[in-house]
Structure 1
Amino acid sequence: MRTIPRSSRFSNGSVSFWFRETGLPERRAPLPGTADYDVCVVGAGYTGLWTAYYLKKEQPDLRVAVVEREFAGFGASGRNGGWLSAEFAGSRERYAQSHGKAAMIALQRAMMDTVTEVISVAEAEGVDADIVRGGMRLVATNAAQRERLAEDIEYLQEWGYWPDDIHLVEGDHEPRLAVSGAVASAYSPHAARVHPAKLVTGLARVVEDLGVMIFEGTAVEEIRPRGATARPAVVTEHGTVYADHVVRATEGFTSTLRGQRRDWLPMNSSMIATEPLPAELWDKIGWEGREVLGDAAHSYVYAQRTADDRIAIGGRGVPHRLGSAQDQDGATQPQVIAGLWQALVRMFPDVAEVPVEHAWSGVLGVPRDWCPAVHMDTETGLGWAGGYVGSGVATSNLAGRTLRDLILRRETDLTRLPWVGHQVRTWEPEPLRWVGTQVIHGLYRTADRRESRTEDRAHTSRLAEIATRIAGR
């Protein structure tokens, strides 16, 4: 950290920069004791809150409770990069195998509609989350990335994206964004910048105003299915909640629940935010369109220009801790901070002297086949959604609307989407999965270095291809 300019206000952790800016919310009361509801949602992040929101909007007399270990937005919902985008992490071929290609295309088009849905609801409900629909810009900074970016666009245009939805662009055809060393650029209009904490705390307020009970500071120990004589139940440290339907919306924290340690891999992602940049630097960089920005590297980064003119940039860093250990306050390692700062300066050399003001980390959920899913078992009364692999800001909204229809037993276009009911095997036990993720991450980083250092390397490194096969993506 000695070579990285640090602000006098530098902080590492404290949940996230987003919550540092807004202030941590006042804690709601915990569950007062054993209770009874129609629906109980475990987890007050985007997935849980959207599910509660759409259920109450559709059926106001429904008794809905949300149970949260910390506070609404404590997890990935309050720590992410603020990308509200139509990106979908799962393998299109896997979904098409069970439902056909047309169904997967329908899922992708539904993701595009979801970007509009989130923006519309935020506006209608008075949630000010600094939303700017500037689209998404992806850049390539070497020949291998340029080839991969072109191939990715061609691939996506076979799976639901039309040319207007994503395409390569010329520098003078889009708002100026001067990324150093960029040799190619792509643009999609289906994305918006958001302030994650403002979105999740605003949504929690709206849900509560609708009559949903949110119990914070209530750790869940176990989720029990419907039995011969017992209703589904959520066992907490303060009592048990019985409900006709229980929704698990715990994403990267799923492994903390009894019996579900290996369901999803808790993967860590980290971010840094600079101090606000002066106007003369923005004159050099551009970024007037406020697009969300990513690159075509294997160990990719994601960034945004914040409402107060900072640059916030993130990446995987240390992707998985031994034993699936999870942080409590978002602190991240010095070497990860250094790596993100180096990525920032590679993209924007002129910001090398701008101090870093905040660093933080968060955990997201990764299924063994890297494919998100929504599920509702009418026999057990248990449902869940997640495994978004880092694309959850929009995907969680689509999941919430889908869970609403599944709980209300309505057959709709959403319940027919191919991620509904998708099943996958569990992860390998520790320490095998820790070793595997270290190997995969190391191969991707080495592949990036090789591609960037060899000017005539026009194709993706074989090491990256090996890593992808090992990961099972």
Structure 2
Amino acid sequence: MAHRTAYERHAPDPRLVERALAGSRHAVFWLEDAGARPAYDALTASTRADLTIVGGGYLGLWTAVHAKRRDPGRRVVLLEAQAVGWAASGRNGGFCEASLTHGEENGRSRWPEEHETLTRLGAQNLDAFEADVRDLGLACEWERTGTLAVAVEEHQVAWLRDEPGHRDRAAVRAEVDSPLFLAGALDTDGNALVHPARLALELARVATELGVEVHEHSAVTGLRKVADGIEVATDRATVTSGGVVLATNVFPSLLRRNRLMTVPVYDYVLMTEPLTAEQRAAIGWERRCGLGDLANQFHYARLTADDRILWGGYDAIYPTGGGVHVRHEDRPASHARLASHFLATFPQLEDVRFSHRWAGAIDTCTQFTAFYGTSHGGRVAHAAGFTGLGVGATRFAAEVVLDLLTGQETERTALRMVRERPVPFPPEPLASVGINLTRWSLDRADHREGRRNAFLRVLDRAGLGFDS
């Protein structure tokens, strides 16, 4: 029999939800908070380069930085369709996790023989990320805080009992005080927090200081192999280079073979106004760790540098027919549901107001973590499908795509995770049917003490299931 979730059982008065959202604006807090930013000229004259990078998000920017550090004399051109960091890289939650596989369970189930290697490489990547923040002077509000996973339903308590860093109810509430938290597990080292938009802008600054030529408002319209390399075309000019990296995230791939490899799933976010000293004292959270619950439809939360609370997750909406469009970003029902769940979690903060609400499209693939590949005789490399956990993984992926362009096997390119492609999504309308049935089934499992129905069990057996 279905039961109400903790967020439903403790739902606040709808008038409190309406009041909390009344002054919010549909705007991305991080992009506003980053302040004035440099503008990079569009590409208007055809040119040549050693490496052309398509995409000005984290993957493209890390690829540019790594490429120049590997070979300072290499001429690198980066083309961004709009503005650096405006999409997923500027609007995510700012969790920089060590995991390269979207969590231990997903990694163990898909690449069990590589689990120890992937765990080691992920930890090394996070440490190297921290070293880069320090050595490159990236002003991105880096905090190595760790994460706290919390159980909010009785059946979830057992899932945490044998986890390192286990906390019983009293101990977890001493970390972050919520009447909904029944148990927890604290990972003190596997996550850092960053300011997403500032990270993107800082990477662009470092890239240009290293000599990378960055061009905004330069959407790439096509690729073709020519006698002396790969020609990358925009509406106004072309770049011909020996190597190309495609870092276009959720947007339609320039490679036809990858058009069905990812779908956009919209994730919704709220940001509170800065908490007062009294409000902070009411919830604790002195460790400032990242926070997430254990439901299939999970929530995530964190503090900002000025003590706002970012609260996101739960709804993961695939727009009918797919496609990325701004009209999908302001969804009153999702933001109201988030606000209700926030006030159920922290009833002591019933006077808090939300200043910003927004959404972003996650590049989801069927293995729930990045896939890789090459084309055009090995001269074009790509990575996509980070599925919402790309802040740290994009740094690793940048090394992978540069390795792939060399044509030499490295520890990274030898990984089965890197060599194999996930199962593509079916074309529409089958994609909408399957994705929405999966979402309905996950919601049903959350209302039935985690029990997965026959459809989810079939997906699990086929290697397409996901348990957050």
Give the paired residue count.
Answer: 445
Aligned to 2:367: 369
Whole-angstrom distance in 1 between the partners of 2:21 and 2:463:
38
Post-superposition offset of 1:426 = 2.3
Whole-angstrom distance in 2 between the partners of 1:117 and 1:32:
36
Aligned to 1:302: 300
Whole-angstrom distance in 2 between the partners of 1:77 and 1:436:
28
Aligned to 1:58: 70
- Partner of 2:18, secondary structure, is coil
Post-superposition offset of 1:145 = 1.9
2:451 aligned with 1:460, yes or no?
Answer: yes
Indicate how the Cα distance of structure 1 residues 11 and 173 shifts in structure 2: closer, same or farther if over 3 A, else same: closer
Whole-angstrom distance in 2 between the partners of 1:366 and 1:263:
8
Whole-angstrom distance in 1 between the partners of 2:55 and 2:82:
9
2:216 aligned with 1:216, yes or no?
Answer: yes
- Partner of 2:361, secondary structure, is strand
Aligned to 1:4: 18
Post-superposition offset of 1:386 = 2.3
Whole-angstrom distance in 2 between the partners of 1:460 and 1:297:
11
Post-superposition offset of 1:60 = 0.2
- Partner of 2:218, secondary structure, is coil
2:47 aligned with 1:35, yes or no?
Answer: yes
Whole-angstrom distance in 2 between the partners of 1:467 and 1:270:
28
The answer (yes or no) to whether the contact 2:314–2:338 under 8 Å persists in 1 is no
The answer (yes or no) to whether the contact 2:380–2:405 under 8 Å persists in 1 is no
Aligned to 1:191: 191
Whole-angstrom distance in 2 between the partners of 1:464 and 1:347:
31
Aligned to 1:86: 98
Whole-angstrom distance in 2 between the partners of 1:143 and 1:255:
43
Aligned to 1:387: 385
- Partner of 1:207, secondary structure, is helix
- Partner of 2:175, secondary structure, is coil
Post-superposition offset of 1:422 = 2.1
Give me the TM-score of the superposition, normalised by structure 2: 0.88
Indicate how the Cα distance of structure 1 residues 176 and 167 shifts in structure 2: closer, same or farther if over 3 A, else same: closer
Per-residue CA shift, 1:265-323, capped at 9, x if unaligned?
Answer: 12211111011111112112111111010010110111111111111011152421122
Aligned to 1:117: 128
Post-superposition offset of 1:36 = 1.4
- Partner of 1:251, secondary structure, is coil
Paired residues for 1:259-270 under 5 Å: 260-270=258-268
Post-superposition offset of 1:464 = 8.5
Post-superposition offset of 1:424 = 2.6
Whole-angstrom distance in 1 between the partners of 2:389 and 2:36:
24
Indicate how the Cα distance of structure 1 residues 299 and 345 shifts in structure 2: closer, same or farther if over 3 A, else same: same
Worse-matched range after superposition: 400-409 or 420-429: 400-409
Worse-matched range after superposition: 54-63 or 329-338: 329-338
2:118 aligned with 1:127, yes or no?
Answer: no
**394, 410, 418: which one aligns with 1:396:** 394
The answer (yes or no) to whether the contact 1:68–1:217 under 8 Å persists in 2 is yes
Aligned to 2:180: 181
The answer (yes or no) to whether the contact 2:173–2:181 under 8 Å persists in 1 is no
Give me the TM-score of the superposition, normalised by structure 1: 0.87
Identical columns (%): 29
Post-superposition offset of 1:467 = 8.3
Indicate how the Cα distance of structure 1 residues 302 and 10 shifts in structure 2: closer, same or farther if over 3 A, else same: same
Whole-angstrom distance in 1 between the partners of 2:223 and 2:306:
42
The answer (yes or no) to whether the contact 1:447–1:461 under 8 Å persists in 2 is yes
Whole-angstrom distance in 2 between the partners of 1:138 and 1:356:
24
Aligned to 2:200: 200
Indicate how the Cα distance of structure 1 residues 43 and 298 shifts in structure 2: closer, same or farther if over 3 A, else same: same
Per-residue CA shift, 1:322-365, capped at 9, x if unaligned?
Answer: 22221248832001101211221222111222111111111121
Gapped regions of structure 2 (runs ≥ 5): 1-13
Whole-angstrom distance in 1 between the partners of 2:166 and 2:456:
24
Post-superposition offset of 1:472 = 1.5
Whole-angstrom distance in 2 between the partners of 1:248 and 1:79:
21
Post-superposition offset of 1:61 = 0.5
The answer (yes or no) to whether the contact 1:104–1:418 under 8 Å persists in 2 is no
Post-superposition offset of 1:211 = 0.4
2:59 aligned with 1:44, yes or no?
Answer: no
CA RMSD of aligned residues (A): 2.6
Post-superposition offset of 1:78 = 0.6
Whole-angstrom distance in 1 between the partners of 2:383 and 2:441:
30
